[in-house]
Structure 1
């Protein structure tokens, strides 16, 4: 059964706990000093998907530099992949779905949510995430029971929201066989029958649709209205040691989110710098919602679902995991 299999996120967390202990014994302050130009160095780990456009815009337009920050973007396969480095202080910030934060906290780590990077549109047909398939026998969420479905990481926003959608549609989520694949590999895996369906986000969602796949379920929408998809997060240690840097980074990120929302042409421009998308392809895509809104009820709904599925051992204390800079 899927639930009896060790997950890669659990393995990541085990390694993180060990690394954090080692770091505590031999830590230094090299990451907290300003560079030669008087800017404080900051590293953020991002998955290079469309949701992350505001960060790239903020760097490109100098919003972070105006806050006295020299920001380096490093990339990862999924938000959970950056967690070990963030917990040990090798990376300052990451953007991941709330599930990653809750599972980490359940394992005794201290991640902190700073703001919502992106949220669901709450509407089928316009959302930035869905489960797709080329198999015409898989028409609805309930049909995923017994199918092999790819997700970027286990026990993350993909499989958790899919499980909810399947159960709500009258299916049995425990009968799903999940496999981990990077987003760029999922469409070809479906076409070659390695998997029956895939959880995809933009830009990979539109690409799969263009190649003939169909939507099985808009799993974000099935979960809750305006669901938080990705959150900017850091560690409590980083907040304690670099609180002023955290505050300035958050302020520049809010400015970047506002700018992305108000300037769709600029989003199109920046997407072409870190993806291989053309302007025409971008025009066809569904983009997530970027705003300063913080949907507290959405964060609670996700936490409750994790408890129901047995992904965490107890209900996360959502409020204690949220750090709102002054």
Structure 2
């Protein structure tokens, strides 16, 4: 065999390998699936943001496109319409939507409260006002971000649990960023706010009256990631991959709580200074949903007129929400 012939064959083989490599790259690019995820720019979505930043979703062939909303109640209609494939939603809005026949399922937990105060959500009022119990707030006005959702529900539950009549309290809708000003301007007497607005209020001559979530129900499964049952059934491997990537994000966050890298990442999407985030209460994130913890939520909803008849909360839990990926 002549040397020129060998060189020609070697070159041809190299070209073939190169062509295969390019084809492989094209296949991988074509295999990447974009998922639109409705979120809220709050600390609770840190594991999702980490999974995006660390490439955990990309490793599963998934590109996540986040769409910010004001809350889960706003994201669910977009999910039902097919405008997004996954939504970050509070548990009350999810149960309501499922009860209305929208065919939703929880695929992963998002945020769970701790066992004891402080919490990232608190009832605040002006410093010096004599509010200590729900009885003290009868005839008063409490700001909630939206009526008939989890904030409204647990404000009522706290009033009842601390000796008051929740029907004797007026609940006014005020967006979270405006709650402190609403209290300061006497448009409301108290507000059920979330961080970082709670810390801001306390730093500006206000006080915490109570922690409704934790005082009513310890380890409350406040929010989850939800998808439509139809989409899950049509894309089981995609959902499995999404949850695997998300759970890696959970592991990373739990191993790096209060680290400079995590604080900077959270600051990037919340616009809260890292030094402020460092002072906020931050519990470890969960990888599975406790089915038993949903039962008290259902009972609170039924007691406050948000749910009628029988409802099995286990019916909205997809298998990925019940077991950690390996």
Q: TM-score range by the shorter chain?
A: 0.7 to 0.9
Q: Contact 1:203/1:285 (CA < 8 Å) preserved in 2?
A: yes
Q: Does 1:300 align with 2:295?
A: yes
Query: 2:106 maps to what in 1?
Result: 113
Cross-structure match for 2:192: 199
Measured in 2, the distance between the counterparts of 1:315 and 1:116 equals 23
Which one of 273, 278, 281 corresponds to residue 278 of structure 1? 273
Whole-angstrom CA distance in 1 between matches of 2:206 and 2:114: 21
For 1:77, what is the secondary structure of its paired residue?
coil
Counterpart for residue 40 of structure 1: 33
- State the match for 1:311 in structure 2: 306
Deviation at 1:268, TM superposition (A): 0.7
Matched, 1:212 2:205: yes
Instruction: Using the TM superposition, name which of 136-145 and 99-108 deviates more.
Output: 136-145
Residues 56-75 of structure 1 mapped to structure 2, 5 A cutoff: 56-75=49-68
Residues 21-74 of structure 1 deviation map (CA, whole Å, 9 limit, x = unaligned):
xxxxxxxxxxxxx99553100011111111111111111111111111010111
The CA deviation string for residues 124-167 of structure 1, in whole angstroms up to 9 with x for no partner, is 22x11111111613232332322222222222111111211111
Q: What's the TM-score once normalised by structure 1's chain length? A: 0.85
Q: Distance in 1 between matches of 2:94 and 2:73?
A: 8
**Which residue, 95, 112, 120 being the options, matches 1:128?**
120
SS at match of 1:286: coil
Number of matched pairs: 292
Counterpart Cα distance in 2 of 1:277 and 1:91: 26
Whether the 8 Å CA contact 2:145–2:173 is kept in 1: the answer is: yes
For 1:24, the equivalent position in structure 2 comes to none
Question: In structure 1, what is the Cα distance between the partners aligned to 2:188 and 2:57?
Answer: 41
Report SS of the residue matched to 1:320: helix
Contact preservation (8 Å) 2:135, 2:165: yes
> 2:133 touches 2:163 (CA, 8 Å); kept in 1?
no
Aligned partner of 1:17 in structure 2 is: none
Contact 1:64 1:252 in 2 (8 A): yes
Tell me the SS of whatever aligns to 1:228.
Answer: coil
Gaps of 5+ in 2: 1-26
Q: Which residue among 218, 226, 229 is the counterpart of 1:225? A: 218
Normalised TM-score (structure 2): 0.85
Alpha-carbon distance in structure 2 between the residues aligned to 1:133 and 1:66: 47
Looking at CA atoms only, which structure, 1 or 2, has the larger radius of gyration?
2
Tell whether 2:242 aligns with 1:249.
yes
Give the Cα separation in 1 of the matches to 2:137 and 2:210.
10
Partner of 1:322: 317
Residue 182 of structure 1: which of 149, 171, 175 is its match? 175
Question: What residue is the counterpart of 1:79 in the other structure?
Answer: 72
3-state SS, counterpart of residue 182 of structure 2: helix
Unaligned runs of 5+ in 1: 1-33
Shift of 1:250: 1.1
